[in-house]
Amino acid sequence: MTTTPASQPARPLGLDDITVIDDSKLKKAVTAAALGNAMEWFDFGVYGFVAFALGKVFFPDASPAVQTIAALGTFSVPFLVRPLGGVFFGLMGDRFGRQKVLSLTIIIMAISTFCIGLIPAYATIGLWAPILLLLCKLAQGFSVGGEYTGAAIFVAEYAPDRRRGFLGSWLDFGSIAGFVMGAGLVVVLQTILGEARFLDWGWRVPFFVAGPLGLLGLYLRHAAEETPAFTQQLERMEQGDRDAIKERPGVSFREIFTRYRKALLICIGMVLVTNITYYMLLTYLPTYLSSSLGYSEAHGVLIIIVVMIGMLFVQPVVGFVSDKVGRKPFLLIGSVGLFFLALPAFKMIGTDNTGMIFLGLLVLAVLLNCLTGVMASTLPALFPTRIRYSALASSFNIAIILAGLTPTVAAWLVESTQDLMIPAYYLMAAALIGLTTSFFLPETANRPLRGDTPNASSRQEARVLLQQAYEHIEQNVEEVDERILALEEQIEKLRQRRQTLVDQHPRLD
């Protein structure tokens, strides 16, 4: 719903105020966002699945366990610069538009990923090898700081209100697909080349694939148009709307952290539970299966690939159902499920039975789907258009710092304690965060983004949304009237109390 400042007379909301989304533009927007996100997670997937190889190539003098921790540590360190990228790209996205920023982030991501494949081994250039690897990962971390949040906003601002959950779910569909592509390519290369040639040069091939993927993603994003919500914001400013100019992008982060504190905390909580589970399942577990449980790399990766393929089918279903029953139930189900089922799942994973391992991973995967299926449609709805990118990118990447440490901390804890259930306890702690967040999360399904007018798929749907908007306004008016009545009663009681006190004093009137 649009907000009307107190200094400007309100006008009735009409049918023309509801944006009817062009279907062809919508498809371009979703495809461009999802493909770029797939490329981002293609790299993360590849890195997680070849961590054992990178440890041997870039940290050859360390023990196998330390090699793995060092390689995963290089994966985690870039998360420290993601908030900087979030602030930078968030401000740019709120000032210059979502489409331009997303084109820039995918360029940086593609180049830095491609360059990882060019880095010589430690045996060739010594200490410069891990340093260059870290620099490339830092560049990736900076670009990713604005990637996911920008893509989520891009899809959310394009999506009709009644389909935002389904359309937003395709963003993380792209993430999972990127993991599948990365893992599948690693398995194929290991099978064809053998371990020796894969360690020699085969590990570089997946990173080179980022080049053409980046060009394709850049083409699609450049072809997509700016979102209707941001376009309307610009039009209001260009027309000289004093209030729109007053609320132009440029809001201080101090204001964001004070005025929108609740939304920021909800975002941080939801990102933590979702991404800790994400990195535990899709980045750390391949290493856990091989380093801690003794399975061959190919065997562990193959099981997880099958699980991820199953996740691809569940992901849009969760998004679709969330448009019917809401987002909150899925956050609640995912969090409660993790708390009670993480330990049994890891006990099944720890057996020598392939079927039990698959079942344990499947339980975690379905619970992860409950979280990822609603995240992209929920988070953008927490903030208004003028600060949406800045606020979401900042809070998202603050949480990502902690979530991104998951593979490294889990590997270190398992190595230090020799307790193979540490990852389960880790997920249970994350589940408590998600459970707490679910109680404070406002329901956003089938409602306009905060501060925006409704989006519809057709003129007929726009009429229905307009009627629902009127009903929502009537409900808000009734709530305001009730608050006014309650305040009037409190004021009258205070007046009576004052008069009683005055009556007891000879010189007060």
| Per-residue pLDDT reduced to its tens digit, 14-67 | 777 788 888 888 888 888 888 878 877 787 667 767 777 777 777 776 666 666
Identify whether residues 245 and 314 lie together within a single domain. yes
Identify whether residues 302 and 438 lie together within a single domain. yes
333 CB-contact burial (10 Å; exposed 0-12 / middle 13-18 / buried 19+): middle
Identify whether residues 396 and 485 lie together within a single domain. no
At position 320, the amino acid (one-letter code) is: F
CB 18, CB 456: distance < 8 Å: yes
Q: Classify residue 241: in a domain, yes or no.
A: yes
Q: What angle do CA 454, 458, 459 make, to 5 degrees?
A: 85
CB 477, CB 466: distance < 8 Å: no
Give the count of beta carbons closer than 10 Å to the beta carbon of residue 463: 13
Number of structural domains (the chain) is 2
Q: Classify residue 6: in a domain, yes or no.
A: no
Identify whether residues 452 and 472 lie together within a single domain. no
Identify whether residues 218 and 281 lie together within a single domain. yes
Q: What percent of the chain stands above pLDDT 90? A: 26
CB 444, CB 455: distance < 8 Å: no
Identify whether residues 259 and 124 lie together within a single domain. yes
Looking at 435, 457, 479, the residue that finishes a domain is 457
Which range of 121-125, 278-282, 346-350 scores highest in mean pLDDT? It is 346-350
Q: Classify residue 114: in a domain, yes or no.
A: yes
Q: Classify residue 385: in a domain, yes or no.
A: yes
CATH code, 395: 1.20.1250.20
Identify whether residues 437 and 507 lie together within a single domain. no
Q: Give CA torsion, residues 368, 167, 401, 307, to 10 deg.
A: 30
Residue count (the chain)? 509
Identify whether residues 133 and 249 lie together within a single domain. yes
CB 74, CB 140: distance < 8 Å: no
CA 367/CA 374 separation, integer angstroms: 12
Identify whether residues 279 and 294 lie together within a single domain. yes
Q: Classify residue 2: in a domain, yes or no.
A: no
Token code pair at residue 78: 């870039």
Helix (H, G, I), strand (E, B) or coil at 445: coil
What's residue 105's pLDDT? Answer: 87
Q: Classify residue 4: in a domain, yes or no.
A: no
pTM over 0.85, yes/no: no
Identify whether residues 421 and 485 lie together within a single domain. no
**91-102 tens-digit pLDDT:** 888 888 888 888
CA 215/CA 207 separation, integer angstroms: 14
Task: State which residues form the domain around 366.
Answer: 17-457
Identify whether residues 370 and 498 lie together within a single domain. no
CA 166/CA 162 separation, integer angstroms: 9
The answer for 505, left when phi > 0, alpha when psi is -120 to 50, beta otherwise, is: beta
For 353-366, the three-class secondary structure string (H helix, E strand, C coil) is CHHHHHHHHHHHHH
Identify whether residues 346 and 473 lie together within a single domain. no
Give the count of beta carbons closer than 10 Å to the beta carbon of residue 181: 21
Q: Classify residue 431: in a domain, yes or no.
A: yes
What's residue 109's pLDDT? Answer: 84
118 CB-contact burial (10 Å; exposed 0-12 / middle 13-18 / buried 19+): exposed
Among residues 187, 213, 191, 205, the alpha carbon closest in space to that of 49 is found at 187
Token code pair at residue 64: 């196998």
